[in-house]
Every structure is written in structure tokens, then in C-alpha cells.
Copies of this chain bind each other. A is one copy, B any other.
Amino acid sequence: MNNKYIKIYDDLVSLIQEGKLKVHAKLPSEHELAESYDTTRETIRKALKLLSEHGYIQKVRGKGSIVLDVKKFDFPISGLVSFKELASKMGQRAKTLVQSLDVINPNDYLREQLKLKKTDKIWEVIRVRQFDDEKVILDKDYFNKKMITDLTMQVCENSIYEYIEEELGLIISFAKKEITVEEPTEEDHQFLDLQGFSNIVVVKNYVYLDDASLFQYTESRHRPDKFRFVDFARRK
């Protein structure tokens, strides 16, 4: 990446994570940073804006910028993180089982969710996520076949996001997420180790590409004891 403000951001994140900038410590002033990075204040401010949005610092008018100790992303569905990125932190304890991979005609519900034309067909991928040999998450992914023409078992076992971004060159940009709690369905009982739990946490995900086109709908169904969502929010 060539962007100066990204480099400055990365640099400051490293300093914070290495503890060279301690929690509650004050950053150098924007003027000082501008000089030491040989740039102008506006560019420094872009870097600090990023740090602030990501929860690393708090800016206080008239005083300066303070390093925060809000721990980052313990176990999030927050933001947009794929299961593979998450699993890599969990080591060998996480596993993905692909149950099925089909091209189907969408029912009315899916046709509406994905805003499809009458003749459009879709991919349906059903996967089970396993932690410590327990099946605790059921993921149902739906893609427009027009946009993702090929999909293999191997890709699904790995990371679909990786395939889409790296192989196909499509860029995932933003998502709308909805979390509710429902009764388990037949399917949930069939695929998951529910152990008598009488509720399922349902995360519905609408994923959009760079050009604002909706291209994926995902339902992620979690056993309640294995569900955790962490979020960082700023007022207004």
C-alpha cells in the first residue's frame, strides 16, 4: 500500500500493540506527528481518524489523543470476518464440514432476499462448523449463479470469501447483519449437536460488493452457548 496515512496508521497500531505506546498514554500532538512523519496535519488526521474508528485511541479536544485499552475483537462476528480468519486463531480446534453444494431454483423467500429475476438460479452451500468436535454452527450460503459461475467442494471447505476476492477479483464492501433468536428447525436438529438447547441464535447477513450490488445472503445458525458477539460503537 502506498498511502502515507495508512502507513502511519499501521505504524501507530504496531507501537500500541507492542506496548511502546502505553494505555492511557498521550500520543504526540498532531503538529509533532506531522513533522516527524514529514507530512501535513490533514494527513496525520486521516491516520488518527482510522485509529479512533477502530477503537485504538480517543481524541480529546484541547488535550490530545489517548491510547485506549478496549481489547480488540476477541471473538467477533462483528465487522466482516470470515470463519477461516477466525478459525486460524483457534488452531486445530475448529473445522468446517461441507454438507451439500447445489444449484437450485430459489423459493420465493430467497428470490426476494437476493432480489433475483424469475429465471435466475442460485448456489446453495450448507456447512457445519465444528469446535472441539461439537457441531455448533450451521451456515447456509446463497449466491447468484450469474455472479459466481463456478464453485467446488474444495473452495467451500476452505474460504469462499478468499475465493471470491482473490480468484474472482470481486471486492466485498459492506454488509447488513441481523441477529435474532428462534426455535430450532428440523434441519438444526439434524445437523447440529443441540444437546437439548431449545433456542438457536440466527445471524442473517446481506453481503454487498464494491459496486453496491447485493450478491450473497447467509444464514448462520448458532447454538446459544457458543455464540458471542462483540461490538465497538461510537455515539453519533
Contacts and interface: CB of A to CB of B under 8 A. Distances in A.
Interface of A: 24, 42, 55, 58, 60, 63, 66, 68, 70, 78-80, 172-181, 197-199, 201, 206, 208, 210-212, 224-225, 227-236
A174 B233 contact: yes
Contact of A58 (B24, B199, B201, B212): B212
A233 B199 contact: no
A233 B58 contact: no
B60 A178 contact: no
A173 B232 CA distance: 11
Given A79-B235, A173-B235, A234-B173, A224 B199 contact: yes
A234 B172 CA distance: 9
Nearest to A181: B224
Given A172-B235, A177-B233, A180-B227, 14 more contacts: A55-B174, A58-B173, A58-B174, A79-B236, A173-B235, A175-B235, A177-B230, A178-B228, A178-B229, A178-B230, A181-B181, A181-B201, A197-B199, A198-B199
Given A58-B212, A198-B199, A199-B199, A181 B227 contact: yes
Interface centre among A70, A179, A228, A231 (most CB of B within 10 A): A231
Contacts of A180: 227-229
Contacts of A173: 58, 234-235
26 contacts: A58-B173, A58-B174, A58-B208, A58-B210, A58-B212, A66-B211, A70-B206, A78-B233, A79-B233, A80-B233, A80-B234, A80-B236, A172-B235, A176-B230, A176-B233, A177-B230, A177-B231, A177-B233, A179-B228, A179-B229, A181-B181, A181-B225, A197-B199, A198-B198, A229-B229, A231-B231
